[in-house]
Structure 1
């Protein structure tokens, strides 16, 4: 099997997103040692996702940098990169996948061409790192022979068929599409912003035990009856004033609003940071899952655009052949060598072919708009792939069994990691309810300020005043029945989270098996359909030679034109479906992530 020799020095760079660990504020050591009665959940926050998120533009990037594209609405697209000759690459796998690492790079679709030899089961590269680089051009000497019989348009007719992008279209490669989707997709940006919110809640939970600071002043005046501490009621007139840390100091009692006040359930101070931490971790993995979905959808949309453009070329070629045949049958009918009915039949076929061209042009615009929506671009601007032919991509080397890929998917899919963190969160909530009656609530208050007062409206005898209050109390809700109900609710929530995790594992396993099967079977379809194109093209050429040698009627070529169109479309669909199955397997096994 003839293979490409791809350049080995295609530059690529990987930005890994690492968060700094958030320092955990702890309660007084002696008090915590007496109250903490259980260890944490079965899984703590992983170090590679813990901490406060940084700017979203520092996330893992696909390194294919787009040119200065006015249709895109994000400044980061046009930022200067560290290398002027940066070719760009799409990192689709991880070193933890269990496969060997390789520096091999595969070209974009536009740089590959078809081979006349049958496809082999031999892999192009057994690599865990496969990149799609499009800025380096392959020289003519390095290009192997093409599928001349399966090409969708001949060289003489290339100018007549719309296989190249129009002047007003923005030509983007697959690497551009994946990079822009990672940077500009609104769903990815939303998921990353939810991470920021979750880590802000972690910080809030870490500070539950810290006091709040209050300062203010108050004035009080009383006229009439009042009761003293001995129970006697008497008439008096008095006034008082307080200012400083806290407010609401009247008479002998403590200020209503202490200057420094901490009021919390100690159970919340212990368990809420753990709960918030698992929530943040689940958001982190959820954002990774959203990114996986967006990249797969963008790749699918790009391949659908390629399908639409190539289908338009097929329709234009079929129209060209049919119009040429129409001119011949018309001449035969005028000279009496052919039937007028044959000419009318070909004219009807011309109308059908023209309608197909219009439909294919509509499909191109629709596919471009759908792709633009995923990139957060102006849908009125046309995007073009610029791919002259469609070829099978070798993103993954499918050598293992379906069971091996299922194991990879179960260990790498971010959806499963997200659900596992939610299980841990539910367990921490259950622990919180279990220990709530045993751990007290705490109220601490300290106030200091100037206080003065006197008879009537006089404010005299002013001096400093310090008030300190400390309180701890235990609570059993609703005579114990409330505690029992709370525990049952949280226990049920744990079981529900565990069942959701198991159901998701089944879904992931099914998706991996489906994608693995699609890759294998659709690869077999490519060779079958290629042979069909070769046979249909040979039939068309033989029938055309017979007509040129006056050995038959022109109408006999019509069926060959129709068969060639069907064979070309079947081959196109087989290749595009195969390429999509490769990306689906990447998604199913979590290989879009770079750990």
Structure 2
């Protein structure tokens, strides 16, 4: 059975973050920690159904990320908000006794031996001149809130909504006229032809100024002062297509947000995995060091074999190498999480969890088919693609009706004009020109029309097939995540039982070797079994927690629950 333990903490914040709901939050005391804290439990709630009707994600038209409290946030200029301990009831605070701490050794007990060594006298940098990188301890709720506010992909997706609505506004204003004002001067010398066809020589000049420009002779100004020129099909169908595009951008932003929150949660859990793996490697190194010292003493006293001691020296070197590799994994996991948080990569992020426990985010009391149905109802990608299909249909309608609906040109110009023979400007007076034109067009003798219709029809079919492929992908993702969560839940209890047996085996074998009754290889195997069982349990818990977040994202998080 999965123990909820301290898993009541995260539900209010997850519901607020994932549903854009406002809740009273206190500022996060994100001060640099003295040392990396132990990687531990991921807190959430077992009762996620209460109050989730208000948690439906919605993308505002002009979202602006940010927060009201100004506190340090991993080297960026943004702010952090979360739920403070004072705002939690006694039942919501973490239960430190949910899982025995001995199952996974505490990460805070890991200390590098290199940190206590004296600096090399040949180096030119003094110890007091070195500045250690800032260390920030964050919980799962902290990193989810930061990703919601600061991740560039989330902000970019929201900004694309603003772009789409700007296109809607532009399409709605397509039929409105434009205003133009200007002036022109024209001078002619030499031969010219009149309307009767006679060619004669003359010298003339004219000047025009007002609404419009380029008014020469008897014709209307080439640049009308008030002009409306558009195809009526564009004025009809472009606003519809732009509206569907804007709606698809909204749902697309919700999908991007869900993906980023899932990726952030997974990255945080991987950070916990690496921290606890480091603690396991340190414990195995300590146990191996003890056994190496015993075999050295026995070999010197003639009570043991030198070959046993050499075998332990080799094992000790391997354990030291694994510890270095584990330290590397912690730094890599921190850097990857910092990227998702848009944080300073020079800052070291450590998990603010005291222990590792299985989460209880979702109740796996439904069949895979029921979870698939939930995903097909909630996933924002489906609504996004539905609007993309509608957009393609509107554009196809435009192409089909384009030859039947005219283009329109409306122009009005008003200004002052003067001119005369020669270079002088006389006989000035006001001038008003009004033009109304409607014309029909068949592009490229009809071949262009057919090609445009075929292209638009193909785009509709492509959008429909992309939607069908998305349905298959969502069904696969939900089924896969449900299977992983169900099977990994079973692994947790089995792995916990293996730890208990490995601890007993190590204690008994160590007692035997200390009493000169057993063989060093027996203790070595017990050390290896203990480290393997601890790592297996850690992997089972982290993999199970990741599977639950994958399932949450696959069914659309908590929308509509």
Q: What TM-score do you get using the length of structure 2 for normalisation?
A: 0.83
Deviations 1:269-311 (A, max 9, x none): 0000111111111211111111111111111111111000000
Distance 1:187 1:4, change over 3 A: closer
Q: Is 2:489 aligned against 1:486?
A: no
Give matches, 1:141-540, under 5 Å. 143-144=96-97, 146-147=99-100, 150-152=103-105, 159=109, 168-540=134-506
Q: Is 2:71 aligned against 1:71?
A: no
Deviations 1:406-433 (A, max 9, x none): 1111111122211111111110011001
Could you say which residue in structure 1 is the equivalent of 2:526? 560
Q: Is the partner of 1:57 in helix, strand or coil?
A: coil
Q: CA deviation at 1:188?
A: 1.3
Q: How many angstroms apart in 2 are the aligned matches of 1:268 and 1:484?
A: 18
Q: Is the partner of 1:461 in helix, strand or coil?
A: coil
Q: CA deviation at 1:161?
A: 5.5
Give matches, 1:78-157, under 5 Å. 78=80, 137-138=93-94, 143-144=96-97, 146-147=99-100, 150-152=103-105
Q: CA deviation at 1:463?
A: 1.1
Q: Is the partner of 1:171 in helix, strand or coil?
A: strand
Q: How many angstroms apart in 2 are the aligned matches of 1:11 and 1:513?
A: 27
Q: Is the partner of 1:449 in helix, strand or coil?
A: strand
Q: CA deviation at 1:346?
A: 1.1
Q: How many angstroms apart in 1 are the aligned matches of 2:351 and 2:506?
A: 29
Deviations 1:550-595 (A, max 9, x none): 4324442111011101111111100000010011001111116589
Q: Is the partner of 1:56 in helix, strand or coil?
A: coil
Q: Is the 8 A contact 2:57 2:559 kept in 1?
A: no
Distance 1:392 1:145, change over 3 A: closer
Q: Is the 8 A contact 2:139 2:351 kept in 1?
A: yes
Deviations 1:506-544 (A, max 9, x none): 011000000000000000000111111111111111212
Could you say which residue in structure 1 is the equivalent of 2:548? 582
| Deviates most, 451-460 or 546-555 | 546-555
Structure 2 residue runs of 5 or longer lacking an equivalent are 22-55, 113-131
Give matches, 1:25-64, under 5 Å. 53-57=61-65
Could you say which residue in structure 2 is the equivalent of 1:132? none
Q: CA deviation at 1:455?
A: 1.7
Q: Is the 8 A contact 1:66 1:180 kept in 2?
A: no
Q: Is the partner of 2:415 in helix, strand or coil?
A: strand
Distance 1:361 1:106, change over 3 A: farther
- Number of residue-to-residue matches in the alignment: 505
Could you say which residue in structure 1 is the equivalent of 2:35? none
Distance 1:200 1:339, change over 3 A: same
Q: CA deviation at 1:146?
A: 3.5
Structure 1 residue runs of 5 or longer lacking an equivalent are 19-46, 89-103, 108-136
Q: CA deviation at 1:241?
A: 1.0
Q: CA deviation at 1:345?
A: 1.0
Considering Cα pairs closer than 8 Å and 6+ residues apart, tell me whether 1 or 2 has the greater RCO. Answer: 2
Q: Is the 8 A contact 1:218 1:248 kept in 2?
A: yes
Q: What TM-score do you get using the length of structure 1 for normalisation?
A: 0.79
Q: Is the partner of 1:460 in helix, strand or coil?
A: coil
Q: How many angstroms apart in 1 are the aligned matches of 2:457 and 2:4?
A: 59
Q: How many angstroms apart in 2 are the aligned matches of 1:170 and 1:553?
A: 45
Q: CA deviation at 1:181?
A: 1.0
Q: How many angstroms apart in 2 are the aligned matches of 1:576 and 1:384?
A: 16
Distance 1:261 1:73, change over 3 A: same
Q: Is the 8 A contact 1:288 1:593 kept in 2?
A: no
Q: CA deviation at 1:11?
A: 6.4
